[in-house]
Structure 1
Amino acid sequence: MRVDVEALSVEVAGARLVREVTLTASSGRLVGLVGPNGSGKSTVLRCVYRALRPSGGTVRVGGDDVHGLTAREGARRLAALPQEVATEFGFTVAEVVAMGRLPHQRAAARTSAADRDACARALGRVGAAHLADRSFLTLSGGEKQRVLIARALAQEPRVLVLDEPTNHLDIAQQLEVLALVRGRATGDVPGGLTVLTALHDLNLAAAYCDELYVIAGGTIVASGAPDDVLTRGLLAEVFGVRAHPVTHPETGAVQLLFDRLPSRPGPT
């Protein structure tokens, strides 16, 4: 299901956080939003998953204004994993994942066999079926992240929005999570799951994303395939670093080595 962000602007307390942002994420694609801290990545995503109403512009999911959808219909189309999420649930893993089924249930309805099957499939997909009876509070950071992704998958959305899904994970867990998400984008959802994610690590973005949008100062400054976007000139201008692109020996994806830009001599 296609996501269209059209001329999106957000103003808070007189400060313009996002200015005229336009981007598209299509079915079966993993689309990354990258940029420096404070550039507006999370603000854009909050508008997409309806945690924030924009000051101007529109977010469309499947052609409909996302803010015009009912809460139930919105949750059936789109699931989100925010950057900051309350994770101190006093529930078992199975109970946490079952929360993803609420948009598909009638009020006061009992969990059905279809709900239980959806939860089991979601836990299996993230490799966490063995954790079902564990207390969520006893899990490691990586295990918690996989369970939260399972909850989103159990929701059976057509669009998945992830804000820095690899934060606080070790490198093996980062690769696991992004491989999982990419697999779902090209997996068994008819037409493919649409994934829109903000990523801090440019090498992970280059390795796993089909398309990148670079945001700086609240505006999109570049977009396209990672190889075309992550150029030395753009990285120097936007991130203030000198980049040395290399080719990954196995995947062929562009990877980046960084060092500081030479400091300019001050006036004498």
Structure 2
Amino acid sequence: MQLEITGLSVEVAGKRLVHDITLAAGSGRLVGLVGPNGSGKSTLLRCVYRALRPAAGDVRLDGTDLHAMDAREGARLLAALPQEAGTEFDFTVAEVVAMGRLPHQRGSGRASAADTEVCARSLDRVGAGHLSGRGFLSLSGGEKQRVLIARALAQEPRVLVLDEPTNHLDIAQQLEVLALVRDSRLTVLTALHDLNLAAVHCDELYVIADGRIAAAGPPHDVLTPALLADVFGVRAHRVRHPETGAVQLLFDRLAARTEPAEAPAPTAP
């Protein structure tokens, strides 16, 4: 399913945070949003999963305006994992993941055997099947994140929107989750903090700075030293991953402090 964002602008409390953004995520593609903190990535994603209504522009799924769909129809097509996702009540992990089936249920909303099977399979896909009977609030941050990803997968969407999905995960879990997202063959739009993870796993990147698109394209074309200096304020050194060939980055401060030159020895009178 194609996700298209056209001319999208967002205003909050009279201040424009996102300015006329247009981007697309093709069917089955993993598209990343990267940029400094406060650049507008999360605000843009909140419009995509309908937590915010844009001041201008629209979000379309295969040409249909997402904001014109009823909530149940939209939730059957698009699932989201916001940064602040969670629950204040101590549901079991199985109950949290089962919430992903609600858009597919009618009448009493009771879970069917098929719903239970989908939920169990989703937990297994993120390596969290053994947590099924645990209380959600008793989990570590990384365990909670995996369970919430399982809930999104249990929704069986065609588009997945993720805001920093690797938060609280150790490096092995980060790699596993992003590989799982790639292998899902869903259309994925995700904000990522780690530029090296974005370079390896994303098909295309959009760099957001001050609420605008600063660059877009394949990671190798986008993550240039000049752009990284301008947008992130760092000096970047590009290297190739020895197995995948993907661009990887080493960073220095842009204005690294230099040691003062040694004072000349005094001369004899």
The bucket for the TM-score relative to the shorter chain is over 0.9
How many residue pairs get matched? 258
Deviation at 1:180, TM superposition (A): 1.5
Structure 1: distance between partners of 2:164 and 2:130: 26
Structure 1: distance between partners of 2:200 and 2:139: 28
Match of 1:218 in 2: 211
Structure 2: distance between partners of 1:85 and 1:124: 20
- Secondary structure in structure 2 of the residue aligned to 1:162: strand
- Secondary structure in structure 2 of the residue aligned to 1:167: coil
Structure 2: distance between partners of 1:41 and 1:103: 26
Choose the corresponding residue for 1:254, options 238, 247, 252.
247
Structure 1: distance between partners of 2:216 and 2:29: 14
1:51-75, CA deviations, whole angstroms, 9 ceiling, x for partnerless residues?
A: 0000000111221111100000010
Rg bigger for which structure? 2
The one-letter code matched in structure 2 to 1:218 is: G
% of aligned pairs identical?
A: 77
1:126-181, CA deviations, whole angstroms, 9 ceiling, x for partnerless residues?
A: 11111111111222211111110110011000000000111222222222221221
Q: Which runs of 5+ in 2 are unaligned?
A: 258-269
The one-letter code matched in structure 2 to 1:214 is: V
Match of 1:4 in 2: 4
Question: How large is the Cα RMSD of the aligned pairs?
Answer: 1.5
Deviates more, 1:7-16 or 1:44-53: 7-16
Match of 2:225 in 1: 232
Tell me if structure 2 keeps the 8 A contact 1:213–1:220. yes
Match of 1:94 in 2: 94
Deviation at 1:107, TM superposition (A): 2.9
Match of 2:21 in 1: 21
Tell me if structure 2 keeps the 8 A contact 1:76–1:103. yes
1:207-260, CA deviations, whole angstroms, 9 ceiling, x for partnerless residues?
A: 110100011111111111000000011101111110000011122111000001
- Secondary structure in structure 2 of the residue aligned to 1:20: strand
Runs of 4+ in 1 over 4 A off after TM superposition: none
Pair 1:177–1:89, CA change in 2 (3 A): farther
TM-score (norm 2): 0.93
Match of 1:199 in 2: 192
Structure 2: distance between partners of 1:164 and 1:72: 25
